Chains A and B, each alone.
Chain A
Amino acid sequence: MPAEKDFTQQRHHFSFPSIFIYGHTASGKTYVTQTLLKTLELPHVFMNCVECFTSRLLLEQILNKLNHLRSSEGGCSTHITCETFNDFVRLFKQITKAESLKDQTVYIVLDKAEYLRDMEANLLPGFLRLQELTDRNVTVLFLSEIVWEKFRPNTGCFEPFVLYFPDYSIGNLQKILSHDHPPEYSADFYAAYINILLGVFYTVCRDLKELRHLAVLNFPKYCEPVVKGEANERDTRKLWRNIEPHLKRAMQTVYLREISSSQWEKVQKDDTDPAQLKGLSAYTHVELPYYSKFILIAAYLASYNPARTDKRFFLKHHGKIKKTSFLKKHEKITSLVTLQLLTLVGHDDQLDGPKYKCTVSLDFIRAIARTVNFDIIKYLYDFL
């Protein structure tokens, strides 16, 4: 990236105070930044904002890592504590007075920067202006999947230099993925495999990490005919015919995480039929006690029928609800909420009567209604 190189060639020069790098997942932001900083041996601190659920954690870790940078001979000195951004600025100025850090730009990289928005409101504007606040040669890099427009605080801030990392094109993906070829096979062989893989998966998945993972998982199956001696490395037709249905099945199962990757590998090793493995979504049946089923059905009807039709429907099956003991009803509603079959809507402070909504799907409620011989479709307004 030529823009980056200009900034870093003369270390003691001040570079732009803050740079915002954004792009989709697996577009190379983290990788390029890290590699660049490490290769050029620029002093930097790399922080993942996901781990810093309090601002204190973020600030302290930055300071401690910097401290570690400057005293590279001995071990770490005492752990620095820092509660506010004010302290951070002060301590930052102290640390960067050190010899090893004085004459060059220090880089602070904040990965997954979107988490900063959920922290204290002064952090983001503060980091954007860190160079000015500390009067030191520092540049803050923000890496995120979300566009800058969603970051900009209402009160205004220092506008960073915005850099976009575009997605890899299919050609790029082909090149990158083909680099990983295993030592036992030729690069051409692996490239042909990657071609087939991309042909199947590119329409649904452009995530490089995911594609690499899928490539590794399915490669043994691709090599199977060669290993068994049924084809040689150049029989692209035969190899394609062997692997294509397998990849399509992978798309419906292991890609969706319906079954785990270890199960997928086992299926390939044992050579069993992958269609036999039931994915997670196949297990939808939930056994409920008898009265709970009726409460759920009533809740579903109440949630999805307009209020004015309630009287018309409820008078009919109201008899069934009456049978349940009043005391148990409350308990059962709470337990249905715990199971996430009902959710609380409205505010917590509405003391007179909490409102609930039924969150199950139509298929689910139909299955439940069938077990108690209740034809729910007859009572649903949308089906009249």
Chain B
Amino acid sequence: MATSSVSKGCFVFKPNFKKRKISVPVEDYFNKGKNESEDSKLRFETYQLIWQQMKSETEQLQEELNKNLFDSLIEFLQKSYSGFQKNSKDWGCQIKLREIPTAALILGVNVTDHDLTFRSLTEALQNNVTPYVVSLQAKDCPDIKHFLQKLASQLTGCCVDEESKEGSTQVAQKKTHCSMDSLSSWYMNITQKTDPKMPRKKRTSSSQWQSPPVVLILKDMESFTTKVLQDFIIMSSQHLHEFPLILIFGIATSPVIIHRLLPHAVSSLLCIELFQSLSCKDHLTTVLDKLLLTTQFPFKLSEKVLQILTNIFLYHDFSIQNFIKGLQLSLLEHFYSQPLSVLCCNLPEAKRRINFLSDNQCENIRRLPSFRRYVEKQASEKQVALLTDERFLKEEIQSLLENLHAYHSNYFLVLRCLHQFTSSLPKYPLGRQIRELYCTCLEKNIWDSEEYVSALQLLRDYLLPPETQPLHEVVYFSAAHTLREHLNAAPRIALHTALNNPYYYLKNEALKSEEGCIPNVAPDICIAYKLHLECSRLINLVDWSEAFATVVTAAEKMDANSITSEERNEIIHARFIRAVSELELLGFIKPTKQKTDHVARLTWGGC
């Protein structure tokens, strides 16, 4: 299209409307070459399914990560709202400056991600606090007039329902008469019309409040001009009693910007509290964790690909949205250019699809370098079968896929263990984040890497047994047998020692005796015990009592005059009976019916 013109100018050529655009369905793009068009429809569907799942996973993740932030913001707003409603009869409330509650939201330098955050925030606020939530961008508000116009038009759009008819006429008016007074009167009209009897489409908690506050979100605070901000804050501060405003500043750098943009006179009209969102690096780690370091999704990235995506993130823009777009691109490209990606799905489905693989696809498998290496390692008959027999090949592929799946489950488990272990080591030899460790593992055998060796070296250096350290006996208690002796009691041994060798406990010189002998001054129970040791399983009480009497009388040669032998015998007999009952109590003997006047012995040997 040429033009002829004397002066230089700009010419517009409108598109030719006669040529109608033919739109190609997306799946047909997959029919690139003959080789790569195998199972193209199925591949496209699989791609779509996986992408949908990944996308909903990231959205859920986003919600969870934002939850804390949003909850604290909502709490702040509710607190401020109740501050508005508080009856100002209180002495303090009458005198204090009426400040506009402001939330300074620090979101980080990845401004491309902020949009999504603000959208979810608006939704959360509308569900929980107030339906009047307005977001403004600096580029739409070069001066105060446009600022108020945009604010008014968004506000009237906030309450759809029955008010829409009046809203539209008011909108026409607002364009020309936009001022703080008109906003205040609009607000008073709207809140007076909030009659609970009226049927409402949205039965949210916010509609129960009598006069919900108006929340104004300034999405990119740094880009606003000082004058616009100042003028608006001064104006709205004077109308606070009839237009309850709450501000949210979206800040990308740091809150110092507030003091830079607003002089003290203006910032003293605000009641500012700080809120911070999750650092984007932590966000990235969580995204990687949920999308790649898991067996939930079959799709994986190689080391170089992952490196590219993370480098763009870390070196260029910190943008999670761009990272996810990169991931989507990789996913699409994989399904587009790799015909075998038809098997990149969950294991049962993949096993089913193996049966329907065409001959072309089987050839594709045979050409894979990893499969070739695998075949070379097999026995020659198996090699031949793999290369020629379709059915055998398919069976083999089934088991190989199962192995691949098992490999992944074990891999991620052990990776996480290793990360837990090495992430707290000094100087972080294997990186602080799991994604650094993952990249290293993807690249090569981790056990060959220097960092791994140095990590294990730390083990060797720092986990030596204490015996190697001089003076360790000063602090280490090692007398184990003594402890066991005291804690693992052996009552039988103690009893035996006491009965057999009463000197051990009683320390009476007179009780010292040689082995085997019974000193006749020993306590009765000892004498009875020693005597019973010499007996067999059944002890004759009469014999025992006579032996006892013999030993005891030998000890008591004195005092023969004081008592008669009759009485002496009775006393000895009584002593014997007492000793026998004590032995029975201690469990050494028991009465038996096998022979009359006999008792059974319950112990043998020393104890």
Which residues from 247 to 263 on chain B have a C-beta closer than 8 Å to any C-beta of chain A?
A: 252-260
Task: For chain A, give the interface size range.
Answer: 35 or more
Our pick among A210, A285, A290, A328 for the contact of B268 (Cβ within 8 Å) is A210
Shortest distance from the beta carbon of B138 to any chain A beta carbon, whole Å: 9
Q: Verify if B502 is at the interface (C-beta below 8 Å from A).
A: no
**With A283-B254, A340-B257 known to touch, is A51 a contact of B180 (CB < 8 Å)?**
yes
Does A236 sit at the interface, judged by CB under 8 A? no
Q: B104 contacts which chain A residues (CB < 8 A)? A: 280
Among A338-371, those with CB < 8 Å from B are 338-341
- Residues on B with C-beta less than 8 A from A263 are 273
CA distance A215 to B95 in the complex (A): 9
CB distance from A210 to the nearest CB of B (A): 7
Residues from chain A with a CB closer than 8 A to the CB of B317 are 289, 335
Q: Is A217 touching B238 in the complex (CB atoms < 8 A)?
A: no
State whether the Cβ of A53 lies closer than 8 Å to any Cβ in chain B: yes
- Cβ–Cβ contact B222 & A339, under 8 A: yes
A182–B92 CA distance with the chains assembled, in angstroms: 8
Select which of A54, A215, A285, A290 is within 8 A of B254 by beta carbon.
Answer: A285
Chain A residues whose CB sits within 8 angstroms of the CB of B272 once the complex forms: 257, 260, 280
Residues of B within 8 A of A213 (CB): 95-97
Interface of B is mostly: helix
Is the CB of B99 closer than 8 A to any CB of chain A?
yes
B231 CB–A CB distance under 8 Å: yes
Residues of A contacting B268 in the complex (Cβ-Cβ under 8 angstroms): 210, 257
Chain B residue at minimal CB-CB distance from A361: B256
Whether, in the assembled complex, B316 has its beta carbon less than 8 Å from a beta carbon of chain A, the answer is yes
Q: Please encode chain B, from 65 to 99, with 1 for each CB lying within 8 Å of some chain A CB and 0 for all others.
A: 00000000000000100010000000110011101
Contacts A51-B235, A338-B223 given: A286-B273 contact, CB under 8 Å? no
> A50-B235, A257-B272, A260-B272 given as contacts; is B109 within 8 A of A339 (CB)?
yes
Report the interface size for chain B: residues with CB under 8 A from the other chain.
55
Partner of A53, one of B79, B92, B143, B270: B143
Contact A53 B231 (CB under 8 A): yes
Q: How far is the CA of A215 from the CA of B96 in the complex (A)?
A: 9
Question: Residues of B contacting A182 with CB < 8 Å?
Answer: 91-92
A374 beta carbon closer than 8 Å to chain B: no
Within 8 A of A (CB), among B124-182: 143-145, 179-181
In the assembled complex, A305 has its CB within 8 A of some CB on chain B: no
The complex places the Cα of A332 from the Cα of B235 at a distance, in Å, of 36
Contact A262–B253 (Cβ < 8 Å): no
Scoring B residues 224 to 238 as 1 if CB is less than 8 Å from chain A, else 0, what string do you get?
000000010011001
Residues of A within 8 A of B223 (CB): 338, 340
B108 within 8 Å of A (CB atoms): yes
| Smallest beta-carbon distance A109→chain B, Å | 15
Given contacts A50-B231, A257-B268, contact A289 B274 (CB under 8 A): no
Q: Is B476 an interface residue (CB 8 A)?
A: no
> B106 near A: Cβ within 8 Å?
yes
A90 at the interface (CB under 8 A from B): no
Indicate if the CB atoms of B95 and A286 lie closer than 8 Å: no
Q: Mark A206-222, 1 if CB is under 8 A from B, else 0.
A: 00011011011101000
List A69-92 residues whose CB lies under 8 Å from chain B: none
Give 7 nearest A-B pairs by CB, closest first: A290-B315, A280-B255, A260-B271, A182-B91, A213-B97, A340-B222, A53-B144
Apart from A216-B91, A262-B271, A281-B256, list 7 A-B contacts with CB within 8 A. A51-B235, A53-B144, A210-B97, A286-B253, A286-B254, A287-B279, A339-B222
